[in-house]
């Protein structure tokens, strides 16, 4: 499977994820959250930034179910879902991920018929990657 290849701006995200923490870059001056991470704030042009913890709760904004042709490692799991999750704290920050039944479950294991836009999800971590599981309410 492909591992993230972080750039300088993105590296802290992956370092926090490796510790089981979901954090989002925020401007160190005006406080606006931004994603993907980048060198300066598009609102106030400040180069100061911090990494703010978020709850890891959100909703499915959209999803796809991928079928071959795919890279071999991924084809082995196909068909599998990829979701975009909107965070509760910042609805316009949308993270790409996979919806799984539990941390570390294989990509293709979640039944595609159970996917729906608006479903509540929460972040779990496996092997340094945030994944998403259905929120049980």
Kindly tell me which residue out of 2, 19, 113, 136 binds other proteins, with binding defined by CB under 8 A: 2
Strand runs (DSSP E) across 54-93, as ranges? 57-66, 80-87
Contact characters 38-77, other proteins, x per CB under 8 A: ----x------------------xxxxxxx-xxx--x--x
Closest approach of other proteins to the CB of residue 83, in Å: 8
First to last CA, the chain: 32
Confirm if 27 and 49 have CB atoms less than 8 A apart.
yes
Phi-psi region of 53 (alpha: psi -120 to 50; beta: other; left: phi over 0): beta
Confirm if 89 and 26 have CB atoms less than 8 A apart.
no
Cα separation, 34 vs 36, whole angstroms: 6
Does 19 interact with other proteins (rule: CB under 8 A)?
A: no
Kindly tell me which residue out of 33, 103, 129, 133 binds other proteins, with binding defined by CB under 8 A: 129
The site that binds other proteins (CB under 8 A) totals a number of residues, namely 40
Does 112 interact with other proteins (rule: CB under 8 A)?
A: yes
Confirm if 12 and 25 have CB atoms less than 8 A apart.
yes
Closest approach of other proteins to the CB of residue 29, in Å: 19
- What residues make contact with other proteins under the rule CB under 8 A? 1-7, 9-10, 14, 35-36, 42, 61-67, 69-71, 74, 77, 79-80, 82, 84, 92-98, 107, 112, 117, 129
């Amino acid at each position: 499977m492909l591992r993230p290849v972080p750039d300088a701006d993105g590296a802290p995200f992956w370092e926090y994820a490796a510790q089981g923490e979901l954090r989002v870059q925020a401007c160190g001056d005006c406080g606006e959250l931004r994603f993907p991470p980048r060198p300066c704030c598009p609102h106030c042009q400040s180069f100061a930034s911090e990494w703010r913890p978020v709850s890891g709760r959100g909703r499915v904004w959209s999803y796809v179910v991928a079928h071959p042709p795919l890279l071999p490692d991924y084809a082995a799991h196909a068909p599998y879902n990829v979701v975009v999750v909107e965070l509760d704290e910042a609805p316009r920050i949308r993270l790409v991920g996979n919806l799984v039944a539990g941390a570390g479950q294989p990509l293709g294991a979640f039944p595609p018929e159970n996917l729906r836009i608006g479903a509540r999800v929460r972040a779990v971590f496996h092997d340094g990657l945030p994944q998403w599981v259905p929120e049980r309410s």
